Chains A and B, each alone.
Chain A
């Protein structure tokens, strides 16, 4: 498998976990439990939206386009932040590549 992320990388949330959205008036977050190793994670802010998008297979480019259209962010900064978030999610087995040709 090609583990280098590029904009065409097709990504999806891993199957071997359970997650729940927890919202209050002022904040929203997603709490995730990985079933393999029993570790809990919490996503906040824009990462919650990214997680939502990753519930079905998406290319990194699509995610980037959607985030850019929904949030007022600098494109360069957004791309770099998104890349580092996705790399982190992959490293922690929360997100995986889909048949990445």
Chain B
């Protein structure tokens, strides 16, 4: 049976089916993979009707996620994802499930600090954006790429701490998922772009400028307020409480967080809130304002000389 080999987040990934969104590796990588993705012959328990992704069960090294209309993922030991699809499953949706929730949980199991956020690289430092779904994370990343900055991620901001406790971000696979208006803004062509899933106006968009190695995290901007564009500093505890809801596994309530070393996650979150500048970016959600927002943040980065 064919096996497929890819790299993602600095890890080797082996899959029972093709994952064309990822960078392919020579088949020689098979057998040495850090992560394997397998199909399970059993039929999914997920309902045929679309539902939000939810956590059905969680233990220290085992998480069961269910997505109605798509299937189940069993994520184990930070090294294996078992996929059960619903009948007549949509393969695009299964891959979305794996790349988002699946890898988000798996990387968390590996002890990485995984935030739901996007990121870009400016002068070899990462600027991250954390926000609720639909608040403009991908759009911010697209805007910075449009201004010649490097792409880091549009969904999972994966962080580890180096020997000096400095937060480092591991770049994601070089693909963004953009809504139609942002796709056009970013120079994509709606007629030739592929939809992330049939029936929704969100498109895959390949990125040219991609970081290869982990890059230090400089700032995190919280996107939770609209108004005339400016940047607000946050008190240290405000910074921490801003980051906590965007820990990737927080999307499943407390079930996964509580079962997977909450004390360890808490320590990483507090370290991050101390080691990175955490600020609130107030802006208008107007695509024509994006160049001004990019300028605002570029200026903010230049005025901050406190982090090396």
Contact = CB atoms under 8 A, between A and B. Distances in A.
A18 B270 CA distance: 11
Interface in A1-45: 18, 20, 22-24, 27, 29, 31, 33, 35, 37-38, 40, 42
B177 to A, nearest CB: 30
Interface stretch (B164-172, B212-220, B259-267): B259-267
A33 B244 CA distance: 11
B257 interface: yes
Contacts of B237: 22, 29, 31, 42
Contacts of B274: 22
Q: Give chain B's interface secondary structure class.
A: helix
A21 B239 CA distance: 13
A27 B263 CA distance: 24
Nearest to A42: B237
Nearest to B239: A22
Nearest to A28: B236
A37 B254 CA distance: 9
Contacts of B239: 22
A38 B236 contact: no
Interface in B239-253: 239-241, 244
A21 to B, nearest CB: 9
Interface residues of A, number: 14
B236 A24 contact: yes
A6 B44 CA distance: 58
Given A22-B273, A27-B235, A38-B257, A33 B240 contact: no
A38 B254 contact: yes
Q: How large is the interface on B (under 10, 10 to 19, 20 to 34, 35 or more residues)?
A: 10 to 19
B258 interface: yes
A24 B195 CA distance: 46
A39 B127 CA distance: 29
Contacts of A40: 241, 244
A20 B267 CA distance: 8
A38 B258 contact: yes
A24 B266 contact: no
A29 B241 contact: no
A40 to B, nearest CB: 7
Interface string B165-193: 00000000000000000000000000000
A18 B235 CA distance: 20
A20 B244 contact: no
Nearest to A36: B258
Given A22-B270, A38-B254, A40-B241, A33 B236 contact: no
3 nearest A-B residue pairs (beta carbon): A22-B236, A38-B254, A20-B270
Interface of B: 235-237, 239-241, 244, 254, 257-258, 262-263, 266-267, 270, 273-274
Given A20-B240, A29-B236, 9 more contacts: A18-B266, A22-B235, A22-B236, A23-B236, A33-B262, A35-B262, A35-B263, A38-B258, A42-B237
